[in-house]
A and B are shown apart, each in its own frame.
Chain A
Amino acid sequence: QKEVEQDPGPLSVPEGAIVSLNCTYSNSAFQYFMWYRQYSRKGPELLMYTYSSGNKEDGRFTAQVDKSSKYISLFIRDSQPSDSATYLCGAIQGAQKLVFGQGTRLTINP
């Protein structure tokens, strides 16, 4: 079992839709949870991070962590074609290594 599981998609939605991206994890020691966005042939860029359970909002993006169910979510409101990318969830325990999910390829259709 992988430590962080993510549905690879691909996921295709119309512009303006609400997008929900999800991951599950198995290591209860994970403390920080991140979402990265990666455009084709580019390095990942950090979108959001959360510490422990709870929600965090940044503009059109909301990150959510439920440690009781080991569930990580990213919601994108009013999705735009420029949001089309691969989204990677990640988890880390302290200063230990960052473990990524498989990544979900998202396409927003105009």
Chain B
Amino acid sequence: GAVVSQHPSWVICKSGTSVKIECRSLDFQATTMFWYRQFPKQSLMLMATSNEGSKATYEQGVEKDKFLINHASLTLSTLTVTSAHPEDSSFYICSARDPTSGSSYEQYFGPGTRLTVT
């Protein structure tokens, strides 16, 4: 099946610094990738939809200047949390659609990245 990876799996950074999270589709080309945020014992909340070669579409309430998304290639999307603060500590998960899969609905999820801001 389609595989999505994320790097790093866990990152600790100091308040005020920026951190970049990578999401890669390993065996398919993803024209669309999604970034989710998940707080402990809560569901996944969509942050933004990323289309290769165009600007990301952010969900209401998500600061686009704080959460920078770049989808520069068909296999890589990055999420940069700028000027991170402790309240940004969360589990960030990406997913990707395979346009050749024949289904418009199926998303393949990465293993997630745990961000801790101290």
Contact = CB atoms under 8 A, between A and B. Distances in A.
Given A46-B106, A97-B49, A103 B112 contact: no
Grouping DSSP codes into helix (H, G, I), strand (E, B) and loop, the B interface class, with mixed when no group exceeds half, is strand
Interface string A29-60: 00110101000011111100100000000000
A74 interface: no
Report, as a range, how many residues of chain B touch the other chain. Answer: 20 to 34
A8 B41 contact: yes
B42 A102 contact: yes
Interface string B101-118: 000111111111010000
A32 B103 CA distance: 10
Contacts of A101: 43
Contacts of B105: 31-32, 34, 49, 92, 94-95, 98
B32 to A, nearest CB: 8
A6 B41 CA distance: 13
A88 interface: yes
B91 A41 contact: yes
B25 to A, nearest CB: 13
Contacts of B110: 43
A42 B43 contact: no
B91 A103 contact: no
The winner among B6, B91, B109 for most chain A CB atoms within 10 A is B109
A77 interface: no
Contacts of B42: 102-103
Contacts of B108: 46
A25 interface: no
B112 to A, nearest CB: 5
A44 B49 contact: no
Given A95-B104, A97-B49, A98-B105, A43 B93 contact: yes
Contacts of B91: 41
6 contacts: A42-B111, A44-B93, A49-B106, A94-B105, A97-B46, A103-B42
